[in-house]
Amino acid sequence: MNICEQCGYHLKMSSSDRIELLIDPGTWDPMDEDMVAMDSIEFHSEGEPYRDRIHSYQRRTRLTEAIQTGIGQLNGILIAIGVMDFQFMGVSVGYVVGEKITRLIEYATNRSLPLIIVCASGGARMQEGSLSLMQMAKISFASSNYQSNKKLFYISILTSPTTGGVTASFGMLGDVIIAEPNAYIAFAGKRVIEQTLNKIVPDGSQAAEYSFHKGLFDLIVPRNPLKGVMSELFQLHGFFPLNKIYIYIYIYIYIYIYIERKYRIEVDSISTRKSFFLLGISVCWIELVYLKSRT
């Protein structure tokens, strides 16, 4: 888990390791792996050309871009998840990163899936100019449709560092926002603020614990219990594992009580009990078909 055994400090973690941590074995189904950034604005640099730099990071990280997106199960609950990887150009957000996140959100919207985005970023990708900045608005619009119109559930996980446009957009739009302990979370970095405002930024003022006490997000959760915490949050919001029978029992009891109270039906006779039993079986079957259709 890349956690120091002595002090508990959370070290940086690759996107593949995070997927292995959060997703049940054998359930990961990646999306849009073939999307690769191009030098759309023909960015000129005195150093390494943009295309060559992309290829260099692809060889180094074995990733095509700075985020992995896909579908998988978290403790049996089918979810859509995007995991940003700081090893790839500091997760600078370009149009491919923005497009992959947008497609993930739209897929989750169409399939009524809960959504997780594990955030980490150093800001916009300057080599793509305004195309990079446009991604914040595009992702935020897709998130608005997912949350406001479809009433679905989005968890944002902020890791160290999360800065720039990600902090200013989808990183802070989660229904529940979770941060890792001692994560560096800010819009602008300490040096930029001090040079711009000519003021000293206090040490620790951009750490997760400080922001949490100011109400910036909801929870600080270490990596060890993170999967279990998210599983409980999903179940609290009505997303259940396919193999948990108590959801069907709950539905059956709910309908039983509802009909009995509304129509004041007495359930003493054997025929009435049989009717309720058949009704419960029918509801359970319909719910099972619906849950399986989401896979």
Task: Supply the DSSP string of 131-145, one letter for each residue.
Answer: HHHHHHHHHHHHHHI
pLDDT tens-digit map of 202-211: 988 999 999 9
Query: What's phi and psi for 82, nearest 5 deg?
Result: -125, 135
Q: Which residues of 116-143 are buried (b: 16+ CB within 10 A; e: fewer)?
A: bbbbbbbbbbebbeeebeebbebbbebb
Radius of gyration of the chain measured on its C-alpha atoms: 23
CATH number, domain 15-236, options 3.90.226.10, 3.90.340.10, 3.40.190.10, 2.30.30.830: 3.90.226.10
Measured between alpha carbons, how far is residue 46 from residues 28, 86, 229 in Å?
41, 24, 47
Q: What's the pLDDT at 235?
A: 86
Within the chain, strands assigned E span: 29-31, 67-74, 77-84, 115-121, 154-162, 176-179, 219-220
Rounded Cα distance between 29 and 105, Å, is: 15
Q: What is the DSSP string of 88-155?
A: TGGG-B-HHHHHHHHHHHHHHHHHT--EEEEEEE--B-GGGTHHHHHHHHHHHHHHHIIIIIS---EE
Rounded Cα distance between 184 and 208, Å, is: 6
Q: What sign does the dihedral 18-229-184-51 (CA atoms) show?
A: positive
Q: What's the pLDDT at 244?
A: 52
What is the helix (H) or strand (E) element at residue 276, kind and residue range?
helix 270-293
Q: What's the pLDDT at 90?
A: 92
pLDDT tens-digit map of 62-76: 999 999 999 999 999
Residue ranges in the chain whose pLDDT is less than 50? 245, 267
**Domain locations in the chain as residue ranges:** 15-236, 246-293
Rounded Cα distance between 42 and 131, Å, is: 12
